Amino acid sequence: MKLDFFEKIFCRIIFYINFELQSTFDMSTNNPVESLNEIKSMMQRTSKFTSISGWSGVWVGVVGMISAFIAYVLILQDALQVNYRGTMTPILMKNLEIKLFILGVITLIVACIGGFFFMTKKSTKDGVKFINPVTKRILRKFLFVLIVGGLVSIIFINNFSFAYVAPATLLFYGLALYTVERDTIVEIKYLAICEIFLGLLAFYFVFNGLLFWFIGFGLLHLIFGVWMVRKYDYKA
């Protein structure tokens, strides 16, 4: 029977894998279920990037909330000048745009440095190389969507539609996360859906963009990071 033939082949493959990898796995219990779980774990590590530290989320969340607060102060300062002078001059508008742009770049750099630091630390702890074919694939997908979102944001700024920048960054960030959800832990999908939903809400309540930015890039990341720390970083 063909079925018996394939069953024999499959059993031989499993036996061969188990025999070849027994020096790597702890076989002291000689439990086939544990052996198969070890094989499954190894195969998952080679196809997915699971060394995402919850502390990365905590770091990004704190940086995002601080950045949103600074942006609020900058906008408030310009609003006070508008009330004093009676109008928002092109110079004031341009200065505000430059300040917010510089703040955004600094926020991105600081968030990425801290995030990569904690992820590389966890990768080392897990015995996984941080730079590998899986992470390269994730970065290609992730950065492509982010770059498109950045270009859309620049178009909004050039057309004096600054209120749409926060919703656009939230939406495209969520889409970027969703494109890589199959290549990493399942919780990334939930974070992506939340970011996309917040981005759409921010487009509807367009003049509350900074509040949604604070929630999406700050508070949501902080909650996500604490959840990941409790689930993965401090697991037994």
How many angstroms separate the Cα of 105 from the Cα of each of 40, 124, 201, 210? 41, 28, 24, 16
Q: Which of these, 174, 202, 201, lies nearest to 188 by C-alpha position? A: 174
Provide the sign of the torsion angle of the four alpha carbons 137, 139, 145, 151, taken in this order. Answer: negative
Domain segments of the chain as ranges: 2-46, 50-233
> For residue 221, what pLDDT is reported?
92
> What is the pTM assigned to this prediction?
0.73
DSSP string, 166-207: HHHHHHHHHHHHHHTGGGB-THHHHHHHHHHHHHHHHHHTGG
Q: What is the mean pLDDT of the chain?
A: 77
Give CA–CA dist 16/106, Å, rounded. Answer: 52
Give CA–CA dist 120/117, Å, rounded. Answer: 5
Q: Is the pLDDT of residue 5 over 90?
A: no
Helical residues (DSSP H) of 2-89, grouped into ranges = 2-20, 32-47, 54-85
> For residue 112, what pLDDT is reported?
85
> For residue 165, what pLDDT is reported?
87
Token representation of residue 208? 């509350």
Give CA–CA dist 170/155, Å, rounded. Answer: 16
Q: Is the pLDDT of residue 74 over 80?
A: yes
Give CA–CA dist 202/198, Å, rounded. Answer: 6
86: confidence class by pLDDT, cuts 50, 70, 90 = very low
Q: Is the pLDDT of residue 130 over 60?
A: yes
> For residue 63, what pLDDT is reported?
93
> For residue 29, what pLDDT is reported?
47
Q: Per-residue pLDDT tens for 32-66?
A: 545 444 544 544 445 566 777 888 889 999 999 99
**Listed range (52-61, 161-170, 211-220, 226-235) with the worst mean pLDDT:** 226-235
Q: Per-residue pLDDT tens for 161-179?
A: 778 888 999 999 999 999 9
